[in-house]
Amino acid sequence: MSEKSAVRVRFCPSPTGSPHVGLARTALFNWAFARHHGGTFVFRIEDTDAARDSQESYETLLEVMDWLGFSWDEGPEIGGPHAPYRQSERFDVYADVARRLLEAGRAYRCYCSQEELDERNERARKEARTPGYDGHCRELRAEQVAAYEAEGRRPVVRLRMPDRAIAFDDLVRGEITFQPEHVPDYVLVRGNGHPLYTLVNPVDDALMEITHVLRGEDLLSSTPRQIALYEALGEIGIGDGTPPRFGHLPYVMGQGNKKLSKRDPESNLLGYRDRGFLPEGLLNYLALLGWAIAEDRDIFSMDEMVAAFDIARVNPNPARFDLKKAEAINATHLRALSVDELAERMVPYLQRAGILGEDVTEEQRRLLGAAAPLVQERMGTLGEAVEMVGFLLVDDRAFTRDPADTAKLLATDDGRAVVQAAHDALAALSTWDTASIEEALRTALIDGLGLKPRNAFGPVRVAVTGRRVSPPLFESLELLGRESSLARLEDAGRA
Ligand code: GLU
Ligand code: ZN
């Protein structure tokens, strides 16, 4: 591929609110497409709406990109040949383009008030005509302009749409045609001079030489407008008038066959990080929202996705977001980690819960490494590490038990008798290892007290791990060590 025709895609979110999964899916498909073609992944921030955009949201976007591992080739923080990449720093560019479009006659000033537009739309509906801007101000005479100006009206700038159908070959959906009556002249710049998404997005795509636009289906209706604007931009010397190729990614549906909304809790991207999804697990799931690596295969790495990704094989039909499936896929990725890697990745979650300090000691690392294989099969997310292995890492004074489990299994006559017997049996042990611990407890509780295993080991488990669900008990006791185990059993006898 020549330098000029090399793939250039962009991911261009607006920094409003908290990033959602739909956004990450769009970023993923653009990133995979760029990497597959050895192209350029441009990251651009569409922050021209000061009322809705926030610095906090911008910083969260950077954080999320970092967490998901989407390195960008041009964009904020790193710059590039088309800097700046934050649209809030490009207002002079847009003002200049708007002026040139007006001068070339490709755009015009429209003085209609909202009331006048509403009234004419209403009339169109009554007369069974298609509503939408009617071209009222396309050819205003100088006196009319002067009269409007004298009234103090502040004009918007509209693009003059061509009076013909606009067709394009969508990379996902194939040939799509829009008739001119459905794409009226539209506003590029507000009456107060503020440029809109309708202007700034295609202008930057043209200036940044974007070759492929992959984005959500909700933006499909803006595509014919953008194609027309591209042509107009070509005429004023921005780009060559050829629009990029468009590919509209399928809707993501949530519960009850409604579109997944930003407000649905499962769409909050940071929620996945905070629960301890692996980025590769979440991305694997997001890839399945519209794409498949093979018919009978759900699990793959990002390297495999990049190698196989083909936009023509994206399914145009709505995809359904299934949290259970996302969790299952994540758990599969967790199980595939090496034990060392798993131990390492649990650390930040244990730190956040206050179980580990900023500096992790050698002894804590050793314990984590030993505990990781015990919990790997039982974990769905890294966040579960807190409950699964936390008891091994906190010292006995900071150790706490689940109150409900304690009430049920420990704070009863039976419970107290069990932990007393367990304590005495373990205190007598000369070797502290899994096999000896198991034998001592079986002898004391099952043979001695005549208990069923469940009733025998449940109270011991709550006593030393704090919970009814834990890694395997005898291994846990070995790891916890004689001193702590006995101290906790003794303490539990007083529960
Ligand atoms: N800033 C726009 C959005 O977040 C980008 C749309 C596009 O990809 O063209 O919806
Ligand atoms: Zn008008």
Q: What is the pTM of this model?
A: 0.93
Residue 27 Cβ inside 6 Å of ligand 1? The answer reads no
Q: Look at residue 495 in the predicted model and tell me its pLDDT.
A: 73
- State how far Cα 448 lies from the chain centre: 55
Share of the chain above pLDDT 70, in %: 99
Q: Of ligand 1's atoms, which has the minimum distance to the CA of residue 205?
A: 9
232 within 8 A of 168, measured Cβ to Cβ: no
Give the CATH number of domain 337-393.
Answer: 1.10.8.70
Give the pLDDT confidence of 93-135 residue by residue, as tens digits: 999 999 999 999 999 999 999 999 999 999 999 999 989 999 9
204 pocket-lining for ligand 1 (C-beta < 6 Å)? no
Catalytic residues: 262
- Is the C-beta atom of 12 inside 6 A of ligand 1? yes
Cβ-contact 316, 220 below 8 angstroms: no
Cβ–ligand 1 distance for 46 under 6 Å, the answer yes
Question: Which residues, 6+ apart, have CB-to-CB distance to 493 below 8 Å?
Answer: 416, 419, 420, 423
Encoded tokens for 118: 């509403």
Nearest-CA residue for atom 2 of ligand 1: 13
Considering the chain, what percentage of its residues have pLDDT values greater than 90?
Answer: 97
Q: Where are the beta strands (DSSP E) in 171-249?
A: 174-178, 187-189, 212-216, 245-249
What's the pLDDT score for residue 3? 45
Distance of CA 488 to the CA centre of its chain: 42
Name the residue at shortest CA distance from atom 8 of ligand 1. 215
Å from CA of 49 to ligand 1 middle: 13
The domain 403-492 is placed in CATH, from the list 3.30.2350.10, 1.10.10.350, 3.50.50.60, 3.40.50.970, at 1.10.10.350
Q: Which ligand is nearest to the CA of 120?
A: 2
pLDDT, averaged across the chain: 96
Q: How far apart are CA 228 and CA 226, in angstroms?
A: 5
State if residue 13 touches ligand 1 by the CB under 6 angstroms criterion.
yes
Taking domain 3-77+252-325, whether its CATH number is 3.40.50.620 is answered by yes
Res. 44: pLDDT tops 60:
yes
| Residue found under tokens 């005898």 | 474
Can you name the CATH fold of 90-249? Glutamyl-tRNA Synthetase; domain 3 (3.90.800)
Domain boundaries, the chain: 3-77+252-325, 90-249, 337-393, 403-492
